[in-house]
Amino acid sequence: MSTPSSNRERFYYGYRRTIIQDRTGQPSYVDEPLAAADFLNPQPDDHFELGTQHHGDVGELFQILQYHHRNNLLISVLQSVKLKWGVAGQPEPTADVAIVSNLVEPQRRRTVLDVAGEGIQPSCIIEVIAPRFAEMALVRKRQIYEKAGIQEYIVIDSGLRPENEQQMSAARYRVSGYELIDGQYIALPLDEEQRIYSAVNRVRLGPNAQNSGFEVIDARTGLPIQPQTVIDHDRAAASQGERRGHDLGASLDFLRMQGGE
């Protein structure tokens, strides 16, 4: 009989779920443990232990870049997309965020990008480090993207690793990146604020002032990029504050008038 502890160890990297039907057609589910190497070539029914911080950061990054590129209808910002190179023996990972230009139906949501079939590959891939797969993203994915000819590869690293992945106070963000020059990746330089410049996106990426997260700076304006949902929320909050201030002022005026009578 397995225990919760033994199951956690067995499924440390995640699990692959398969459906088996008996003679009556009734389905049953079988979960098989994944290895770290499966991260480089995931299958549709794979579930990886990436952590809640990873999911949150990827979602935030996707929203930021989607908003940033909103006026360029030829640029697609893809999230958690499987890359199919069409090259025998070449691992086909899932990119956290990929920037692709000139796709057919560029605004269509995709979970798979058929690079060989469409004849177009990402110009920039950004990966957010998941604590249990740090080496895979920092080393192996970099090698894969370099070989595939991806123009820019950028890594957002919270600094969390398996030993402290539940301690968000231990996060110390940093960003690194590479540009493909003559078929090889060359590290992008850091500026004084520890940011790198992405020529593909025309943004600077780096840790925030507290190193507790990341931010994306519009190179044109020098300001952090905020998705419209965040902007609308801030405007609504400010408007609500103004209304409350107006109502309070009106109430005070009424009380003064009453007191003066």
163 and 232 fall within a common domain: no
8 belongs to a structural domain: no
**pLDDT mean over 200-206:** 98
**pLDDT mean over 182-208:** 98
189 is in which domain, residue-wise? Answer: 51-221
5 belongs to a structural domain: no
- Stronger pLDDT, 233 or 162, i.e. the higher one: 162
Looking up tokens 């079939």 gives: 117
216: β partners: 205
106 and 141 fall within a common domain: yes
DSSP states along 190-217? P-TTS-EEETTTTEEEEE-TTSSSEEEE
237 and 158 fall within a common domain: no
197 and 232 fall within a common domain: no
**pLDDT mean over 21-31:** 85
pLDDT over 70 (residue 119): yes
Q: How far is CA 174 from CA 13, 150, 157, 167, 206, in A?
A: 24, 21, 5, 17, 6
190 belongs to a structural domain: yes
Q: Give the span between the Cα atoms of 64 and 217, in whole angstroms.
A: 10
pLDDT in tens, 144-180: 999 999 999 999 999 999 999 888 888 999 999 999 9
169 and 234 fall within a common domain: no
150 and 231 fall within a common domain: no
pLDDT band (50, 70, 90) for residue 131:
very high
Q: Give the span between the Cα atoms of 78 and 107, in whole angstroms.
A: 9
Are the CB atoms for 61 and 87 separated by under 8 Å? Answer: no
pLDDT at position 206 is: 98
Are the CB atoms for 126 and 97 separated by under 8 Å? Answer: yes
pLDDT over 80 (residue 121): yes
Q: Give the span between the Cα atoms of 83 and 80, in whole angstroms.
A: 10
Looking up tokens 């409350």 gives: 244
Query: Which parts of 60-117 are beta strand (E)?
Result: 75-84, 94-101, 112-114
pLDDT band (50, 70, 90) for residue 254:
very low
87 and 216 fall within a common domain: yes
- Stronger pLDDT, 241 or 88, i.e. the higher one: 88
